[in-house]
Each structure stands twice: as C-alpha cells, then as structure tokens.
Amino acid sequence: MSDVGVLLREWRGNRRLSQLQLAGQAGVSARHLSFVETGRSRPTREMILRLAEGLAVPLRARNALLLAGGFAPAFPEGDLGGPDLAAVLASLRAVLIGHEPCPAVLIDRHWTMVDGNAAVPLLTAGVAPELLEPPVNVLRLSLHPDGMAPRIRNLGEWRAHVLHRLDRQALATGDPVLRALHDELRALPGGRDAARPDGVVVPLRYAADGHELCFFSVTSVLGTPLDVTLDELAIESFLPADAATATFLRAR
C-alpha cells in the first residue's frame, strides 16, 4: 500500500465506514477507493481532500495525508503569538470576558490552557502551584488529587465524563498525546463511583468560598477555520446549573 492509502484506510476504520459508505459520501466509486487504499492508484490532491472531507479528518491530519500523497499542505498553521492570528485571538479573548462572571478558558488540541477569564481563579484556588505552572493542562488540573479533585463533590461522575470525552476525542483525532493523557488521568486515584447523574447534563458540583456550586460545561469552536491552529482551539465555559450558583456568581 502507498503511505496515503494506509492512512486513508486507517481513518476509514477509525470512522467505522465501509469502502462503499465512504465512496458514496465522497462521490467516487468503491473500486477506485479500493485501488487508492491498496496503492494500485495514486490519488490526486483533490481526491485526497475529498476523501478527507468525507471522513471528517481534522485539518492537521489532512495536511499529513497530502504530504503522504506527495503534495504540499493545504492549510496553514499559524503561531498563537504571531500577527496573523492576533485579531482572532483578540476576539476570542472578548468572548472569554463576555462569559464573566462564569469561568471560561481557551484551550488547544491537547487541553492546554491558552487563556482564561477573571473568573477562573474561583475554580483553581487552593490547587498545588506546580499544576498552575505553564503549560497548564486543564484536564490534569481538574482530576489530579493536588488539583481541583478534592473540591469536586461528584468526582466519580465528573471523572467518568471527562475520561469518556477524552477517549472519544483521542479516537476521533488519532492523536497519541491525547491517548497518553487519557491513560495518565485514568490512573489517578479517587472518584471511582460513577453513578448515572439524575439531571439532563453531567454537572460539575464544586466547593468554593464555602458554597457548593453547580455548573454545566459548554464547548465552543470556530465554525469555519482554515488554519490548523484555529481549528484546534476551543472555549470551555462553565455556566450555572442552578439558581443558587447563578446568584452566587452575580454577587461576586
């Protein structure tokens, strides 16, 4: 098989699609797709991109597919500290501020915190200083016994939610760093009770400032990114899940 054929077949297996299903989505014949996967046919740049679109492959991996096929990457990868992304990052910063008094963080593809608003210290007060040394991984921060974990009142349920979400993300992206992070967090102690929550979302029940607060999380991503770095950014915000939490946040 050619390198690009191997990668396409791996992505198709990851998405649990048959050759016939992917061929139908991409508008190609199953026979031609089979030839591409086995290396009997060399795909064009347009074919690679069409198949990648049908497989919902992340932009970073689409560039890798193109390189494997002998083509230049199609999507730029901007520097978070560079001028090209400055305007978008400024807008995302405004979104973070707009979430106040609710905590919200901007994260990259590995759950490293890029930015956060003024309400984030409500959740990080009392954690070990080394966990707040950049780069800060927000999932490690939440489940580590020296981090937020001792103040999470439903740690088992929250831990199960985080690990399930991270497992799905690692599978969807094929990112070995996310898989290693999942294995690391799964090995952390505590919170083994993972009873099914009673409500309509998995809450974060958190002890802070002498109150038990209740949040639900919302993830926001850019709708039309054409840059690898922007494609991998997300805002994770924590909104009040009950009236008491909303009142507490407004009072702060």
Identify the pLDDT of residue 98. Answer: 97
Tokens of 159: 């831990």
Among candidates 129, 147, 146, 130, which has minimal Cα distance to 138?
147
| Residue partners of 156: CB distance under 8 A and separation at least 6 | 191, 192, 193, 194, 195
In this prediction, residues 150-175 reach a mean pLDDT of 93
pLDDT band at 252 (very low <50, low <70, confident <90, very high): confident
| Residue partners of 131: CB distance under 8 A and separation at least 6 | 140, 141, 144, 146, 147
Give CA–CA dist 17/23, Å, rounded: 10
Residues 14/171, Cβ–Cβ less than 8 Å:
yes
Q: pLDDT per residue over 182-237, tens digit each?
A: 999 999 987 665 555 566 789 999 999 899 999 999 999 999 999 999 999 999 99
Length of the chain: 252
Long-range contacts of 96-103 (CB under 8 A, 24+ apart): 96/235, 99/235, 99/237, 101/249, 101/250, 101/252, 102/215, 102/237, 102/238, 102/239, 102/240, 102/249, 103/215, 103/237, 103/238
Cα-only R_g, the chain: 21
Identify the pLDDT of residue 196. Answer: 57
Q: pLDDT per residue over 73-131, tens digit each?
A: 999 999 999 999 999 999 999 999 999 999 999 999 999 999 999 999 999 999 999 99
Tokens of 172: 């969807």
Amino acid code (one letter) for 2: S
Bridge partners of residue 219, in order along the sequence: 236
Q: pLDDT per residue over 40-65, tens digit each?
A: 999 999 999 999 999 999 999 999 99
Identify the pLDDT of residue 190. Answer: 75
pLDDT band at 1 (very low <50, low <70, confident <90, very high): very low
